Chains A and B, each alone.
Chain A
Protein backbone atom coordinates (compact mmCIF):
# COMPACT_ATOMS: atom_id res chain seq x y z
CA UNK A 1 0.00 0.00 0.00
CA UNK A 2 1.38 3.39 -0.97
CA UNK A 3 1.89 5.85 1.85
CA UNK A 4 -0.43 8.47 0.30
CA UNK A 5 -3.12 7.67 -2.26
CA UNK A 6 -4.84 10.30 -4.36
CA UNK A 7 -7.18 9.73 -7.28
CA UNK A 8 -5.53 11.44 -10.28
CA UNK A 9 -8.85 12.17 -11.98
CA UNK A 10 -9.26 14.05 -14.21
CA UNK A 11 -12.29 15.64 -12.62
CA UNK A 12 -14.51 17.91 -14.71
CA UNK A 13 -17.33 19.94 -13.15
CA UNK A 14 -19.57 22.84 -14.20
CA UNK A 15 -19.00 26.30 -12.79
CA UNK A 16 -20.70 26.71 -9.41
CA UNK A 17 -20.44 23.04 -8.44
CA UNK A 18 -19.15 21.83 -5.10
CA UNK A 19 -15.93 19.92 -5.59
CA UNK A 20 -14.60 17.25 -3.26
CA UNK A 21 -10.97 16.17 -3.51
CA UNK A 22 -9.61 13.38 -1.33
CA UNK A 23 -6.51 11.58 -0.14
CA UNK A 24 -6.05 8.50 1.98
CA UNK A 25 -2.90 7.59 3.84
CA UNK A 26 -1.45 4.63 5.69
CA UNK A 27 1.01 6.21 8.15
CA UNK A 28 -0.84 6.92 11.39
CA UNK A 29 2.02 9.19 12.50
CA UNK A 30 1.00 11.90 10.01
CA UNK A 31 -0.31 14.93 11.87
CA UNK A 32 0.24 17.86 9.50
CA UNK A 33 -1.81 17.99 6.33
CA UNK A 34 -1.57 20.37 3.42
CA UNK A 35 -3.19 21.03 0.08
CA UNK A 36 -1.15 22.57 -2.70
CA UNK A 37 -2.63 23.97 -5.91
CA UNK A 38 -0.61 23.73 -9.11
CA UNK A 39 -1.58 25.59 -12.25
CA UNK A 40 -0.37 24.26 -15.58
CA UNK A 41 3.36 24.85 -16.12
CA UNK A 42 3.73 26.44 -12.70
CA UNK A 43 5.08 25.34 -9.35
CA UNK A 44 2.72 24.27 -6.55
CA UNK A 45 1.50 26.86 -4.07
CA UNK A 46 0.23 26.18 -0.58
CA UNK A 47 -3.55 26.47 -0.36
CA UNK A 48 -4.50 24.99 3.02
CA UNK A 49 -2.68 23.74 6.09
CA UNK A 50 -4.26 21.80 8.95
CA UNK A 51 -3.03 20.07 12.04
CA UNK A 52 -4.51 16.82 13.34
CA UNK A 53 -8.23 16.20 12.92
CA UNK A 54 -10.98 18.69 12.22
CA UNK A 55 -11.98 21.28 9.68
CA UNK A 56 -10.42 24.49 8.47
CA UNK A 57 -12.19 26.99 6.28
CA UNK A 58 -10.73 29.74 4.10
CA UNK A 59 -13.19 31.48 1.83
CA UNK A 60 -14.59 28.95 -0.62
CA UNK A 61 -12.14 26.26 0.51
CA UNK A 62 -12.59 23.83 3.40
CA UNK A 63 -10.00 21.28 4.45
CA UNK A 64 -11.16 18.33 6.49
CA UNK A 65 -9.06 15.71 8.28
CA UNK A 66 -10.36 12.43 9.68
CA UNK A 67 -7.41 10.75 11.36
CA UNK A 68 -9.47 7.79 12.52
CA UNK A 69 -10.16 6.91 8.89
CA UNK A 70 -6.80 8.21 7.61
CA UNK A 71 -8.68 10.37 5.13
CA UNK A 72 -8.37 14.03 4.19
CA UNK A 73 -10.57 16.12 1.94
CA UNK A 74 -10.59 19.50 0.27
CA UNK A 75 -13.96 21.01 -0.58
CA UNK A 76 -14.35 23.87 -3.03
CA UNK A 77 -17.69 25.69 -2.93
CA UNK A 78 -19.05 27.70 -5.86
CA UNK A 79 -16.20 26.47 -8.06
CA UNK A 80 -14.84 28.89 -10.67
CA UNK A 81 -12.94 28.34 -13.92
CA UNK A 82 -9.94 29.88 -12.17
CA UNK A 83 -9.96 26.87 -9.81
CA UNK A 84 -8.93 24.65 -12.73
CA UNK A 85 -5.60 23.20 -11.62
CA UNK A 86 -3.99 20.11 -10.18
CA UNK A 87 -4.46 19.73 -6.43
CA UNK A 88 -1.81 17.90 -4.45
CA UNK A 89 -2.22 16.70 -0.90
CA UNK A 90 0.86 16.54 1.29
CA UNK A 91 1.46 15.40 4.82
CA UNK A 92 4.15 14.95 7.44
CA UNK A 93 4.57 13.49 10.89
CA UNK A 94 6.68 16.30 12.29
CA UNK A 95 6.04 19.99 12.71
CA UNK A 96 8.66 21.73 10.60
CA UNK A 97 9.51 18.43 8.94
CA UNK A 98 9.40 19.91 5.47
CA UNK A 99 12.12 17.56 4.22
CA UNK A 100 9.88 14.64 5.14
CA UNK A 101 6.76 15.79 3.33
CA UNK A 102 4.98 13.05 1.41
CA UNK A 103 2.97 14.23 -1.57
CA UNK A 104 0.03 12.61 -3.28
CA UNK A 105 0.14 12.30 -7.05
CA UNK A 106 -2.36 15.10 -7.55
CA UNK A 107 -5.91 15.38 -8.89
CA UNK A 108 -6.45 17.39 -12.06
CA UNK A 109 -9.59 19.52 -11.84
CA UNK A 110 -11.30 21.38 -14.67
CA UNK A 111 -14.16 23.77 -13.95
CA UNK A 112 -16.17 24.48 -17.09
CA UNK A 113 -17.86 27.87 -17.56
Chain B
Protein backbone atom coordinates (compact mmCIF):
# COMPACT_ATOMS: atom_id res chain seq x y z
CA UNK B 1 0.00 0.00 0.00
CA UNK B 2 1.96 3.00 -1.31
CA UNK B 3 -0.67 5.66 -0.47
CA UNK B 4 -0.41 8.73 -2.71
CA UNK B 5 2.43 8.69 -5.22
CA UNK B 6 3.57 11.80 -7.11
CA UNK B 7 6.00 12.01 -9.98
CA UNK B 8 8.34 13.66 -10.72
CA UNK B 9 9.81 14.89 -7.43
CA UNK B 10 11.66 17.78 -9.03
CA UNK B 11 11.35 19.53 -12.37
CA UNK B 12 12.72 22.66 -14.01
CA UNK B 13 10.72 24.14 -16.86
CA UNK B 14 11.41 26.99 -19.21
CA UNK B 15 8.79 29.70 -19.60
CA UNK B 16 6.16 28.59 -22.09
CA UNK B 17 6.81 24.87 -21.76
CA UNK B 18 4.11 22.43 -20.72
CA UNK B 19 4.17 19.43 -18.45
CA UNK B 20 1.98 16.99 -16.57
CA UNK B 21 2.37 16.22 -12.89
CA UNK B 22 1.32 12.69 -12.16
CA UNK B 23 -0.61 11.54 -9.08
CA UNK B 24 -1.81 8.06 -8.24
CA UNK B 25 -3.44 6.60 -5.12
CA UNK B 26 -4.07 3.00 -4.19
CA UNK B 27 -6.51 3.54 -1.31
CA UNK B 28 -9.66 3.54 -3.47
CA UNK B 29 -10.44 7.11 -2.39
CA UNK B 30 -13.10 8.94 -4.33
CA UNK B 31 -11.82 12.43 -3.56
CA UNK B 32 -8.55 13.72 -4.96
CA UNK B 33 -7.00 17.18 -4.79
CA UNK B 34 -4.17 19.28 -6.12
CA UNK B 35 -2.65 21.94 -3.88
CA UNK B 36 0.22 24.32 -4.33
CA UNK B 37 2.36 25.50 -1.45
CA UNK B 38 4.38 28.66 -1.76
CA UNK B 39 6.88 29.69 0.92
CA UNK B 40 5.04 31.31 3.83
CA UNK B 41 1.71 31.11 2.02
CA UNK B 42 0.08 27.90 3.16
CA UNK B 43 -1.73 25.43 0.94
CA UNK B 44 -3.96 26.66 -1.87
CA UNK B 45 -6.41 24.32 -3.62
CA UNK B 46 -6.02 24.26 -7.40
CA UNK B 47 -8.50 21.59 -8.50
CA UNK B 48 -10.30 18.70 -6.92
CA UNK B 49 -12.29 15.68 -8.02
CA UNK B 50 -15.07 13.80 -6.26
CA UNK B 51 -14.86 10.78 -8.54
CA UNK B 52 -13.89 9.55 -11.97
CA UNK B 53 -15.11 11.96 -14.64
CA UNK B 54 -15.90 14.77 -12.18
CA UNK B 55 -13.59 17.69 -11.53
CA UNK B 56 -14.04 21.19 -10.14
CA UNK B 57 -12.01 24.33 -9.64
CA UNK B 58 -10.47 25.30 -6.37
CA UNK B 59 -9.15 28.65 -5.23
CA UNK B 60 -6.32 29.07 -7.78
CA UNK B 61 -7.15 27.14 -11.00
CA UNK B 62 -5.82 29.57 -13.62
CA UNK B 63 -3.04 28.11 -15.76
CA UNK B 64 -3.85 24.51 -14.86
CA UNK B 65 -6.02 21.69 -16.14
CA UNK B 66 -6.97 18.32 -14.72
CA UNK B 67 -8.69 15.15 -15.78
CA UNK B 68 -9.90 12.12 -13.83
CA UNK B 69 -10.48 9.10 -16.03
CA UNK B 70 -9.93 6.52 -13.27
CA UNK B 71 -10.36 6.42 -9.50
CA UNK B 72 -6.61 5.97 -9.04
CA UNK B 73 -5.13 8.74 -11.19
CA UNK B 74 -5.46 12.52 -11.13
CA UNK B 75 -2.89 14.25 -13.36
CA UNK B 76 -2.35 18.02 -13.29
CA UNK B 77 -1.46 19.71 -16.56
CA UNK B 78 0.44 22.97 -16.79
CA UNK B 79 0.13 24.72 -20.14
CA UNK B 80 2.47 27.60 -21.05
CA UNK B 81 4.40 27.57 -17.78
CA UNK B 82 5.02 30.94 -16.11
CA UNK B 83 7.41 31.93 -13.29
CA UNK B 84 4.36 32.44 -11.05
CA UNK B 85 3.82 28.68 -11.20
CA UNK B 86 7.09 28.03 -9.41
CA UNK B 87 5.91 26.20 -6.31
CA UNK B 88 5.68 22.86 -4.53
CA UNK B 89 2.67 20.88 -5.71
CA UNK B 90 0.93 18.35 -3.50
CA UNK B 91 -1.62 15.79 -4.52
CA UNK B 92 -3.94 14.42 -1.84
CA UNK B 93 -6.80 11.99 -1.59
CA UNK B 94 -9.56 11.19 0.89
CA UNK B 95 -12.71 9.33 1.51
CA UNK B 96 -15.11 12.25 1.79
CA UNK B 97 -14.03 14.06 4.89
CA UNK B 98 -11.27 16.16 6.29
CA UNK B 99 -8.56 13.55 6.67
CA UNK B 100 -6.47 14.17 3.60
CA UNK B 101 -3.62 11.86 2.67
CA UNK B 102 -0.88 13.76 0.91
CA UNK B 103 1.84 12.71 -1.47
CA UNK B 104 5.45 13.83 -1.00
CA UNK B 105 5.17 16.69 -3.46
CA UNK B 106 6.67 17.89 -6.73
CA UNK B 107 9.02 20.85 -6.57
CA UNK B 108 8.64 22.83 -9.78
CA UNK B 109 10.77 25.75 -10.93
CA UNK B 110 9.86 27.80 -14.00
CA UNK B 111 12.79 29.84 -15.31
- Chain A positions within 8 Å of B, measured between CB atoms, are 4, 6, 8, 32, 34, 41-46, 49, 88, 90, 92, 95-99, 101, 103-106
Contact = CB atoms under 8 A, between A and B. Distances in A.
Given A34-B98, A98-B94, A99-B56, A44 B43 contact: yes
Given A43-B105, A99-B48, A99-B56, A88 B98 contact: no
A105 B102 contact: no
B21 to A, nearest CB: 13
Contacts of A105: 40-42
Nearest to A105: B42
B15 interface: no
Contacts of B14: none
Contacts of B101: 45
Nearest to A94: B98
B96 interface: yes
B75 interface: no
Contact of B98 (A8, A43, A101): A101
Contacts of B42: 4, 6, 88, 103-106
Interface of B: 4, 31, 33, 40-43, 45, 48, 50, 56, 58, 90, 92, 94, 96-105
In this complex, the member of B4, B40, B98, B101 whose beta carbon has the largest number of chain A beta carbons within 10 angstroms is B98
Contacts of B45: 99, 101
Contacts of A34: 98
B97 A96 contact: yes
B31 to A, nearest CB: 6
Contact of B104 (A41, A92, A98): A41
11 contacts: A42-B104, A46-B98, A49-B98, A90-B98, A98-B33, A98-B94, A99-B31, A99-B33, A101-B98, A103-B43, A105-B41
Contact of B105 (A42, A96, A104, A106): A42
Contacts of A101: 45, 98, 100
